[in-house]
Amino acid sequence: MDQHQAKREMRERLLAARRAMPAAERTAAGSALRDAVLALPGITMGGTVCAYHSIGTEPPTHKLVAALWKHGVYVLLPVVLADGSLDWAAYEGPDSLTPADHGLLEPMGQRYGAEAVHRAAAVICPALAVDHGGVRLGRGAGYYDRALARVGPNTLTLAAVYDDEFVDTVPAEPHDQPVGAVVTPGGGVRRLAPQ
Ligand SMILES: Nc1ncnc2c1ncn2[C@@H]1O[C@H](COP(=O)(O)OP(=O)(O)OP(=O)(O)O)[C@@H](O)[C@H]1O
Ligand SMILES: [Mg+2]
């Protein structure tokens, strides 16, 4: 089986497990992810943090996004562009979001372009799984592979996943961009060594 097919099967399995997760567990995960990221040294010291506004069964980030913003962090959220890249726009509170394609909510604030991730202190990415070497499995569109290729040398890249989604091995393809850390509800933030 090739890596592409292995990814597809892994996505199906993980998405089914997410659908089966009790709502209360998901809600608790959102609080734990918020607390774990806020505990990162320096995270509220005035830098920019790129994050995502979760939908459906994704690890919940609404509490995290709101808390970062309330602590004065400059929070950017992705805006999906037709060319397959992500633009980044400022989150300015819950009222600054508007419905977009695929059930997403997008920020209406000023847009800073795809290169905005380069100067971010941290980029918090969605993922379905992450392995010990930082290989992440996304939803299969490559948006975050393209975005992570643009981060700067001092940007901390983090994938947010549920506890069971931090795994030994994720199938990797040459274009996959590893992340530098994982954040899980039960384990907090852990740095990952590229393999
Ligand atoms: N830098 C890139 N330039 C052009 N295409 C790319 C790039 N990175 C990835 N892709 C394309 O994106 C497609 C999906 O990649 P992949 O299966 O790794 O998605 P993913 O990492 O799960 O998704 P996402 O990054 O959106 O969460 C692949 O067909 C790949 O060729
Ligand atoms: Mg990928």
At residue 113, the pLDDT reads 97
Ligand 1 pocket: which of 173, 175, 176 to mutate (most atoms <8 Å of CB)?
175
Print burial letters for 107-140: b (CB count within 10 Å at least 16), e (below 16): bebebbebebbeebbbbbbbbbbbbbebbbbbee
At residue 40, the pLDDT reads 96
Answer yes or no: is the C-beta of 85 below 6 A from any ligand 1 atom.
no
74-80 and 86-90 strand pairing? antiparallel
At residue 139, the pLDDT reads 96
Ligand nearest to the CA of 138: 1
Answer yes or no: is the C-beta of 115 below 6 A from any ligand 1 atom.
no
At residue 62, the pLDDT reads 97
> Hey, which residues does 183 pair with through a beta bridge?
160, 189
Structural domains present in the chain:
3-191 (3.40.50.10420)
At residue 157, the pLDDT reads 98
Regions of the chain with pLDDT less than 70: 195
Ligand 1 pocket: which of 145, 146, 165, 179 to mutate (most atoms <8 Å of CB)?
145
- Closest Cα to atom 15, ligand 1: which residue? 142
- Closest Cα to atom 3, ligand 1: which residue? 146
Which of 169, 163, 193, 168 has its CA nearest to residue 181?
193
Answer yes or no: is the C-beta of 150 below 6 A from any ligand 1 atom.
no
Answer yes or no: is the C-beta of 19 below 6 A from any ligand 1 atom.
no
Tokens of 138: 């996304």
Answer yes or no: is the C-beta of 141 below 6 A from any ligand 1 atom.
yes
